[in-house]
Chain A
Amino acid sequence: MSTPWDDYEDVPSRLTDPVDPTRDHIIGPPQPRVTLVEYGDYQCPFCGQAHQVVAELLQTVGDSVQYVFRHFPLTTVHPHAEGAAEAAEAAGAQGRFWPMHDTLFTNQRALAGPHLLTYAQALGLDEPRFVRDLRERVHAPRVRSDFLGGVRSGVNGTPTFFIDGVRHDGSFDYDVLLAAVQQAMSVGAAEPSGGRHMQSRWSS
């Protein structure tokens, strides 16, 4: 008898939620050769390191790579991670996700409420709206939805990267991550359909 069981034994960890331009925060070309999805936490020091690595990487291969950041706050060990993620979304609601994202990673040790407000001011956000979004937890469902999508995709800590939808289990050192991205590029080049097609196949 066939059960749902049969389908999932020893399946490699793959992204269950494909990149969605109507929802995701994306840097890079609309028709990339490779997609790089990161699940991260603003208070996680390793994610802070990864943020610099990604910035360097995009300087090198940014023309070909679409980078997506999704939230994976581990709130019990990082008490400010959830608030920071919601602040990034609140900034995103005003079209300023990436500037807030960079600010949060640059100031990982100062992510309490008053700090977040300072950053919103510095970015010229509509302050009452930003405060209301945070107070009413308007973006909490979005952050949770990112988190659960990550859990179901096999995110086991932060940061976790997916390259063309497959979990990258190597380190996120610049050289290692760049090599993995370039490897995916060469695979994509060999197949006319490219990375996006493969991702949609895997996402089913």
Chain B
Amino acid sequence: MTSNPAIPRGVQAPEFSLPSTPDQRVALSDFRGRPVVLAFYPADWSPVCSDQMVLYHEVLPELRRYDAELLGISVDGVWCHLAFSHDRKLGYPLLSDFEPKGQVARAYNVYRDAEGISERALFVIDRRGVVDWSYVSPVGVNPGADGVLRALESLSQRDRVTA
């Protein structure tokens, strides 16, 4: 089964506001002025040792070196996210693309209609809110964090050139 082509580099990242907890919402524009890493993933509770979200938690200090914010997004509900995040001790928000289901994933063109889940897709969004890098991983393959780190590094180098 082929993957969707994610919205590419140079496109303004679609704005969204999604719940991160039962009483808090997070909007993309909250982080304007900083790079944002969006990590769409199919579902909470995938097997532990190859879990992408756990890996990203471990890499958080490196993302912070680029002043980047990391947001995980799946169609799971808020309570599911809370339990998952607590169990895996994740130090970044998981956003619930639950109602209308997959609306944000659709906006980024990474929703899988047949299964009702999002692709495993990564977006690095620059300080102005423009997509600078996007990647859709093959189904079932944890993309790791090397692509994200290289994209952030490239961004920061260009920031330095234009600063």
Please report A residues at the B interface, Cβ cutoff 8 Å.
3-5, 8, 13, 41, 44-46, 74-77, 147-148, 151-158, 169
Contact = CB atoms under 8 A, between A and B. Distances in A.
B67 interface: no
A76 B62 contact: no
A5 B9 CA distance: 11
A46 B52 CA distance: 16
10 contacts: A3-B157, A4-B153, A4-B157, A4-B158, A75-B58, A76-B58, A153-B146, A156-B141, A158-B50, A169-B141
Contacts of A155: 144
Contact of A76 (B52, B89, B142, B149): B89
A122 B17 CA distance: 57
Chain B's interface: helix, strand, loop or mixed, by majority? Answer: helix
B158 A76 contact: no
Chain A CB within 10 A, most for which of B49, B51, B142: B49
B59 A151 contact: yes
Interface residues of B, number: 29
Nearest to B154: A4
Nearest to B158: A3
B40 to A, nearest CB: 16
Given A5-B154, A156-B50, A76 B146 contact: no
A151 B62 contact: yes
Nearest to B149: A152
A74 B144 contact: no
B48 interface: yes
B58 A8 contact: no
A151 B145 contact: yes
A151 B144 contact: yes
B93 interface: no
A186 to B, nearest CB: 27
A169 B50 CA distance: 12
Contacts of A46: 49
A74 B55 contact: yes
